[in-house]
Every structure is written in structure tokens, then in C-alpha cells.
Amino acid sequence: MSHMGRSPSPYREATRELLRETVFRAARGKLEVRPWSEITMADIAVEAGVSRQTLYNEFGSRNEFGLTYALHEAGKFLDGVEEAIRAKSDDPRAAVEVAFERFLLIASGDPVIATLLSDDGTGGMLQFVTTRGTPMISWLAERIGVIIVETWPGYSADDANLISENLVRLAISHVTAPTGSRDETAARVGRLIGPFIDESFGTDS
């Protein structure tokens, strides 16, 4: 009997997930001490204990791997952002400020982010959140938009997406080029986006 069209088995999916997590840990270990521009797929393969061909089979090119890894790391920020939003579910404007500050706090303590920000722009991983950052922005904005709608059903999806996209763009800008303390930055962002939040949610300023 043909197996074509069947979904991958749970075992196969679990094995693939384990492979990806192992490889991502290996990449993180390398990125904590060296910029992406100096790391090869062979370096990651050796660190992960797999063949280089396995990496290419799973991720495609080196750039595709870099983007996939960057998205994986960005997912860690969402846990802190979601926690901050849900903790202030009674005050959408305050929730945005706290979530923004939490994002900056997580980023400031991450050694991989520090290495990324030291990149000179010549082929490093910084490109995945700046010049080639559209997939990153779209993915994060979509996830945060879902959190907003789930927390405040009064928001339309369009308004939630508008808020989340601009929050992500501002967060990336302030992480890569900070201009003040985290709390000051979060307060300024709250002042900027707050009126729209109040209007779209139907609350008084």
C-alpha cells in the first residue's frame, strides 16, 4: 500500500524537532563567541555532531539556516512579551509599555544579541533583522497580533496587526540603535502609540 499523502509520523516529527533544537543550540554556542560571518555550516555541524549534508538537507542554504535560526531565537522573546501583555490585561496602554520594556530587557541580557550587534554589516546575522528583516518583522508582528486579539477581543485584527507591526519595528530599531534607558524608551513608545490604542479599544485617554 502506498504511503504517499500521509502525514509524517509523530516519531519522525519528534526526531526532526530534536535535530533542529540540537543544531540551534550548536549555532548559539558559536554565536556567543564569534560573529555569523565567521561561522560555517561545517562549524555548526561539528558542534552539533551531525554531518554538513544533514544541515543542508534540513535547512537549505547557509542564509536560509541563518534566517531560520534568527526566527527561532526571536520566538524566545515572545514568551516574555506575552507574559507582560497578559499581566496588564486590564490596561492595554500600560501592557504595551511593559511588553516593550520586557523585550528590550531580554535583548540586553542575551549574549547572542550582543554578538549580533557587534556585526560590522558585512554578511553577518544583523541583516536578518535589518536589510533582510521582512520575514522576521512579519512573523513577530503576526504572533503579537494574535496575542493582542486573544487578550483584548475588542480589538479588530487590523488594529492589532497595525499595533504589533509598529511595535516590532520600533523594538528592532531600539535594540540595534538604543538612544536611552529601557524604561524611558518604553514610556516614549507608550506616549506615541497610546492614543491609537485608546481609540481602537474605545477607552478614554
pLDDT above 70 (res 55): yes
pLDDT of 36 reads 83
In angstroms, the Cα distances linking 39 to 8, 27, 35, 69, 127 are 32, 9, 7, 13, 15
Q: Which of 22-36, 44-58, 130-144 has the highest mean pLDDT?
A: 44-58
pLDDT digits (tens, 9 = 90+) for 70-106: 888 878 778 888 888 999 889 998 998 999 998 888 8
Q: Containing domain of residue 148, as a range?
A: 66-201
How many domains, in total, are found in the chain? 1
Distance CA 35, CA 112 (A): 9
Residue 37 lies in a domain: no
pLDDT of 41 reads 94
pLDDT above 50 (res 2): no
Residue 94 lies in a domain: yes
Q: Which residue has the cell 516593550?
A: 100
* Bigger pLDDT: 75 vs 112: 75
pLDDT digits (tens, 9 = 90+) for 156-169: 889 999 999 999 88
Residue 141 lies in a domain: yes
Residue 51 lies in a domain: no
Distance CA 34, CA 46 (A): 15
pLDDT of 20 reads 92
Residue 61 lies in a domain: no
Residue 88 lies in a domain: yes
Q: What is the pTM of this model?
A: 0.73
Residue 85 lies in a domain: yes
Task: Give the type of residue at 92.
Answer: P
pLDDT of 66 reads 85
pLDDT grade for 47, boundaries at 50, 70 and 90 = very high
Nearest to 147 by CA among 82, 73, 80: 82
Residue 29 lies in a domain: no
Mean pLDDT of 10-37: 88
